[in-house]
Structure 1
Amino acid sequence: MHCCTTVSVPKVCFVAVNAACLPGSLYTSLFIFSQAGLLRKQLNEVQTGKQELVIKYEEQLQRVKDELSKLKRSYQKLQSKQLKESREGAKSREEDRTEVTRLNGKIEEFRQRVSPVREPEDAVPSLSVVPGDPEEGSGRAVH
C-alpha cells in the first residue's frame, strides 16, 4: 500500500497523502498546513479586494477635492465681482448725489433769475375806494 503519491505539474508539486498511513500528529499537522494555505489564499483575496476599494475611494476623494477646488475658485470670483460692483455702486451713488446737488443749485439759480424781485407786502400799492355819491352806489378807485 502506498502512503504517498506525487503528482508534478510545472512549477507546482502536489502530494496526495493517504491519511491511513500517517500518524495522528502528522495528519493533524498536514491538515493545519492545508487550512493555513486556504486561509492565506482567502487573506490574499480579501487584501486584493481591500486594495481595490482603497483605489476606488482615493479616486472618488480626488474627484471631490477637484470639485471643491472648482467651487472655491467660483466663489472667489463671485466674491471679487460683488466687491467690485459694490465699489462701483458706492462711487456711482456718490456721483449721483453730487449731480443732484449740482442740479438743485442750477434750479435755485434759475428761479432767482426768472422770478422778479418782490417787494415787501406793505410796500405794494393798494387800491382804496373813495366813496362816491351814495345814491349811485358807486365809488371810484384811487391809486
Structure 2
Amino acid sequence: MKIKISGLIILGALLLGACASAAPETADAAPAVEAATAPAVEQPAQESMDASEGTAAAPGDAAATVSFSMDVWPILEKYALAAHGGKGGVFLESYDDILKYVTPGDPENSMLYKALIGDGMKRMPPDAPLPDEMIQTIYDWIKQGALNN
C-alpha cells in the first residue's frame, strides 16, 4: 500500500513538473474551483453536451452520456497534450494512457480529476485552469465509467 501511495505522489509531482512550462495561454482566466467546493462541480452542469448530437442539453435534464472521443478527448488534446504528449513523466496521448490516471466510476479518487480541481496537488493546467463546464464533462465521463466511446 505504501508503494502505491508513493507511486501516486511521484506521479503527481511529475504531472506538476511536466505542465509547468507548457500550459496554453488564454486572455481570460477561468474562475477557480477550490477543492472545498468540489461538490458544486459534481452537480449536473447547467449545459452539458449531448454526445450523440453535439448539442447542449437543457438545464435540469439528466446528465447525457459523455463520449470520450467527442467530449473528453478534444478537451485533453487542446489543454494537456502539449505538456503530456511524449515528454516528461505523464503521458496523455491515448485512451489507455489517460485511463492510468482514472478510477472508472469514481472521479473523487481519480488523479486526472484531482489534478483538474487541485485536490491535494497543484491545479492543472497551472496557468489557465479549465472552465468549470469542461471539468464537469470530465467528471461526468469518469462517473459514467470512463468508457472508450
Higher helix share: 1
TM-score normalized with structure 2 length: 0.19
Higher strand share: 1
TM-score normalized with structure 1 length: 0.20
Larger radius of gyration: 1
